[in-house]
A and B are shown apart, each in its own frame.
Chain A
Amino acid sequence: GAGVSQSPRYKVAKRGQDVALRCDPISGHVSLFWYQQALGQGPEFLTYFQNEAQLDKSGLPSDRFFAERPEGSVSTLKIQRTQQEDSAVYLCASSLTVRVEAFFGQGTRLTVV
């Protein structure tokens, strides 16, 4: 497709459950980002990949959060032992490596009950 694709769009998880969120970036985009957006707030940076290399994971809130991009295209954000405070929209964005402007997917809305 022409845009960034994320799946699932909505995910309800029981507290303690593990979840995996998928991002399919725009073809040819080397840079890939994950952001977390709480209700009524702007997105907050989680982690950044350049191709398959995770160059910055400083925004990951705890060691329960893990992201990978093994072949430099599709990325997965995994959250282990979900907590209620993990409830948010998780946004994926991609950009050409030399450009800063990023294009976002529609996000995955995670609700932990």
Chain B
Amino acid sequence: QKEVEQDPGPLSVPEGAIVSLNCTYSNSAFQYFMWYRQYSRKGPELLMYTYSSGNKEDGRFTAQVDKSSKYISLFIRDSQPSDSATYLCAMSVLSGSARQLTFGSGTQLTVLP
């Protein structure tokens, strides 16, 4: 079993819809949680990060972390065709020199105009 599991998708929604993307994890040592967006043939682009349980909002994006359930979510409001991409959750342990990210496998999102 992978340390981070992510809904595989693909997910297709109409423009303007609310999108919910989710990941679960098994390593309780994870303290830092990130969402990356990756367009085709591009590198991952950092969208949001948080290190605590609760919600964090940035424009149309809301990241939610529930450490007790080991569950994180990314919500996209008023989705746009330009949001079509693969969304990757990523997590990290903050200890010593450990800084590497553990990623989910990604959810491919298509927003239809």
Residues of chain A touching chain B, judged by Cβ–Cβ distance below 8 Å, are 4, 6, 31, 33, 35, 40-45, 48, 50, 55-56, 59, 91, 93, 95, 100-107, 109
| Complex contact B99–A31 (CB within 8 A) | yes
The A interface is mostly helix, strand or loop, or mixed, namely: strand
In the assembled complex, the Cα of A55 lies from the Cα of B61 at a distance in Å of 34
- Residue in A43, A45, A106 whose CB lies within 8 Å of B42: A106
- Residue B18 is within 8 A (CB to CB) of chain A in the complex: no
| Complex contact A102–B46 (CB within 8 A) | yes
- Residue in A50, A59, A101, A107 whose CB lies within 8 Å of B97: A50
| Complex contact A101–B49 (CB within 8 A) | yes
- Residue B65 is within 8 A (CB to CB) of chain A in the complex: no
Q: Which 10 residue pairs are nearest across A and B when measured between Cβ atoms?
A: A42-B103, A104-B43, A45-B100, A106-B43, A100-B32, A55-B97, A104-B44, A100-B92, A42-B105, A101-B49
| Complex contact A42–B99 (CB within 8 A) | no
List the B residue with the shortest CB-CB distance to A59.
Answer: B100
In the assembled complex, the Cα of A44 lies from the Cα of B106 at a distance in Å of 12
Q: How far is the CB of A92 from chain B (nearest CB, A)?
A: 8
Q: How far is the CB of A7 from chain B (nearest CB, A)?
A: 13
Whether A44 contacts B103 in the complex (CB less than 8 A), given A100-B94, A106-B42, comes out as yes
| Complex contact B105–A48 (CB within 8 A) | no
Most B CB contacts (10 A, CB to CB) among A6, A44, A100 go to A100
Q: How far is the CB of B21 from chain A (nearest CB, A)?
A: 13
Whether A41 contacts B106 in the complex (CB less than 8 A), given A31-B99, A48-B100, A102-B101, comes out as yes
- Residue B98 is within 8 A (CB to CB) of chain A in the complex: yes
| Complex contact B99–A105 (CB within 8 A) | no
